[in-house]
Amino acid sequence: MKVNGKDYRATWWDGDAIGFIDQRLLPHRFETATARTLAQVAEAIRNMAVRGAPTIGVMGAYGMALAARNGDSLDAAYDLLLNTRPTAINLKVGLDAVRSVSPDPVAMLDAARAHDDAEVAAARSIGGHGAALLTHGSRVLTHCNAGWLAAQDWGTATSPVYTAAREGLSPFVWVSETRPRLQGARITAWEMVQEGIDHRLTADAAAAQLMRQRRVDIVITGADRIAANGDTANKIGTYSHALAARANGVPFYVAAPLTTFDRDTPDGEAIPIEERDEDEVVFVEGLSDDGVVRRVRVPPVETLAINPAFDMTPADLITGFITEVGIVPATPDGIADAFRRPRPS
């Protein structure tokens, strides 16, 4: 997608290093950064400068290629990168795609590039399939950022919106702010501004009320890992939206490439859920009136917090998966069928 008239992916190979957009600084600053060492790649994923399931998979893939080029131990590189974030299976898929052609650094970089391009092709194709669910002026509620920054380009949940906008359907997006790290308020809202999409920010807790008032036509979220039975891990708060959607008869779709499906994990209970530092709940950061970005503590200093980064939405709450090979039901058969279909190139 374009930023200030220039085409970007969330991460890219930059000669002998990896370039990336530092997503922690959005929306108030747009800056790119460079990872030259394996440790810097791991840190960028861990601190969420680079985030979103498909994007961390691509970053991991380039990280393996960088490790080969720098003469690092490839087994150690694989373990280090795999353990940066436990929930999104795309990270493992990206690492495996490149490790499978090791140790030749040239072949590994080619594999990383191919993985990157395949994720972008998938995201774009998700847009075509998902846009068919929208009509003129559809009001879409989305959670977190399953946008182009989370999927290298186009996004997963946002791709149907961007595609529909290009088809003249004028979609409207409710952006769920997504406490604690506010990926909706900070990143999805920024993407909507960049793309000129009509949108409105909503507190996470307001989403159920908007659904009850018939102001949401469809919910589309992304996913970090989809188990063999269709249970889906995604950003904390997704499950609440799914429950509210079911209670109010609103269709709830999960948009994800096939790299997010983990058929080796039988159900959602077996998906590891990342717990992050309580500081992410206790502190909030934003632009103050004097134009400076500040971080402030909200609760009393004595108060502790808990910070599960993801939750699990049971398959029976999901209307369908929007994938690059079409829309499939959230059932084992639906998933198996998706893997039999030809993938876009």
Provide the annotated active-site residues: 224
Nearest approach in angstroms of CB 56 to ligand MRU is 7
Q: How many CB atoms lie within 10 A of CB 55?
A: 31
Q: Is 309 in the site for ligand MRU (CB under 6 A)?
A: yes
Residue of the chain from 18, 81, 88, 327 that contacts ligand MRU (CB under 6 A): 88
End-to-end CA distance of the chain: give it in Å, rounded. Answer: 19
Residue of the chain from 54, 57, 60, 160 that contacts ligand MRU (CB under 6 A): 54
Nearest approach in angstroms of CB 276 to ligand MRU is 8
Q: Is 146 in the site for ligand MRU (CB under 6 A)?
A: yes
Residue of the chain from 156, 163, 319, 323 that contacts ligand MRU (CB under 6 A): 156
User: Which string of x and - marks every residue 2-41 that binds ligand MRU (by CB under 6 A)?
Assistant: ----------------------------------------
Residues linked to residue 286 through DSSP beta bridges, in sequence order: 294
Q: Is 207 in the site for ligand MRU (CB under 6 A)?
A: no
Residues 6+ apart with CB under 8 A from 200: 172, 173, 174, 175
Q: Is 175 in the site for ligand MRU (CB under 6 A)?
A: no
- H-only helix segments in the chain: 38-46, 53-69, 74-82, 90-99, 105-131, 159-166, 183, 189-195, 207-212, 238-247, 279-282, 332-340
Q: Is 159 in the site for ligand MRU (CB under 6 A)?
A: no
Residues 6+ apart with CB under 8 A from 76: none
Q: Is 93 in the site for ligand MRU (CB under 6 A)?
A: no
Of all residues in this chain, which one has the CB nearest to ligand MRU in the complex? 222
Q: Cα-Cα-Cα-Cα dihedral of 101, 102, 103, 108, to 10°?
A: 70
Categorise residue 277: left if φ over 0, alpha if ψ from -120 to 50, beta otherwise. beta
Site residues for ligand MRU per CB under 6 A? 51-54, 88, 144, 146, 150-151, 156, 183, 222-224, 234-235, 309
